[in-house]
Amino acid sequence: MKITFLGTNGWYDTETGNTICTLIESDKYFIILDAGNGIYKIDRYIKSVNKKLVYLFISHFHLDHIIGLHILNKFKFSNGLRVYGPAGTKEILDNIINAPYTVYFAELPFKVDICELSEGLHRIPFLVECKPLLHSSTCMGYRFELDDKIIMYCPDTGFCENAIELAKNADLLITECSFKSGQRNPKWPHLNPEDAAQIAKDANAKKLVLTHFDANIYKTSNERKLTESQAKKIFINSYAAFDNIEVVI
């Protein structure tokens, strides 16, 4: 299974990266995690003639996680696109992905199905477990079981028990890392490297990849590498993501 980090910034694009988007390629499926501006690279990996089903999971509706939906008409998903998100997804996306802002779903060159997921375990047809995380608005964390592997996607959140539960024994834990070492803000919950590494350690995960680096806080690649070394002090198998890197598990 291959995981490609197409966008690794939070908030806005910089020379260091596009806003958040991650692609999982399993034996049978392509799974896109959030739709920041990094999604524009998807057609490098998902060709117009493709037998695998394509799924998009939206964690929440802050614009850096959905702004890339504006360019969906760039793609030609031959088997359509299945979009999953928390309660309210259909109403919110129908309002935003519409005139006068962009091309409406019904006018895209492929079919789009939108489904809303409640907290719990779902088979769609692979297994995915959803739990709300600790953020300023509703934000869903996702645990996927694919090809006998477990991947947990932990987007915008502060340190919370649900993140640990979803990450239990994960082969790969993908977490946001908006803050630098020691930074916290209870009014704007996000993770710093120590918190992300502690989640991985408490959950007995095998590997941690840090992404969603706040563009206003992390201005250089070297700052990300320093954060990686700080996370390693708590959880040795920690790595900072950069746009276009691939991880195989």
Report whether 35 contacts 58 (CB < 8 A).
Answer: yes
Q: Give the number of C-alpha atoms closer than 13 A to the C-alpha of residue 77, restricted to the C-beta side.
A: 23
Q: What is the dihedral of CA 132, 133, 135, 136, to 10 degrees?
A: 10
Range of the domain at 193: 2-248
In total, how many domains does the chain have?
Answer: 1
DSSP-derived 3-state class of residue 41 = helix
Nearest to 141 by CA among 240, 67, 60, 20: 60
Nearest to 12 by CA among 174, 181, 212, 196: 212
Q: Could you tell me the pTM of the whole model? A: 0.98
Give the CATH number of the domain where residue 9 resides. Answer: 3.60.15.10
Report whether 4 contacts 23 (CB < 8 A).
Answer: yes
**Over its length of 249 residues, how does the chain's per-residue pLDDT go in tens digits?**
999 999 999 999 999 999 999 999 999 999 999 999 999 999 999 988 888 999 999 999 999 999 999 999 999 999 999 999 999 999 999 999 999 999 999 999 999 999 999 999 999 999 999 999 999 999 999 999 999 999 999 999 999 999 999 999 999 999 999 999 999 999 999 999 999 999 999 999 999 999 999 999 999 999 999 999 999 999 999 999 999 999 999
